[in-house]
Amino acid sequence: MSEKKHQVSRRQFLNYTLTGVGGFMASAALMPMVRFALDPVLKDYSGGDFVATGTKVDDITTEPVSVDFVVEQVDAWYESDEPKSAWVYKDDNGEIVALSPICQHLGCTVNWNGDSANQNMFFCPCHNGLYKKNGKNVEGTPPPSPLLKYETKVKDGILLLGKANPQNL
């Protein structure tokens, strides 16, 4: 048997070498971008986190009051505390209701009894938007949809608020 020698020409050697080095450099450049894109997808998210407001449930009445709380917000690698607020009251059944103070029209802040002509309603001063006590938008005013409603939970007599969700009223 004769052994066949496999010889690599200079051109083939350079082609293989440059392709290997180029592939290595391309993968080194692409890895951070791929990780950046996939990291949020692979990150474990425990949705539905509740935040303590510091408000005692026994202090909540049928009159809406503004409750301030802080949410920890993570934007990529930057962590910050975002102050938020909610209008909190007990309905006729004694259930706790927490409504977002953000108007659904243009994002202004609504006030309870903010307009003397429209008592017992949430009022948006930007464009005279009105909401009923349950957060339903009043027909004929600018807001297109009801106020968002926070998920609520009680722990050790303290009100906890979760995610704000749209209402179907």
pLDDT 10s digits, 32-46 = 888 888 877 776 655
What pTM value is reported for the model?
A: 0.69
Average confidence score pLDDT of the chain: 87
Average pLDDT in the 116-133 region?
90
109 has a pLDDT exceeding 90: yes
102 has a pLDDT exceeding 60: yes
Least reliable range by pLDDT among 28-42, 123-137, 144-158: 28-42
**In sequence order, which residues have a C-beta less than 8 Å from that of residue 125 and are 6 or more positions away?**
108, 111, 114, 115
Least reliable range by pLDDT among 42-46, 79-83, 108-112, 127-131: 42-46
Assign 131 a pLDDT band (cuts: 50, 70, 90).
very high
% of residues, the chain, pLDDT over 70: 93
Helices marked H in the chain — which ranges? Answer: 10-42
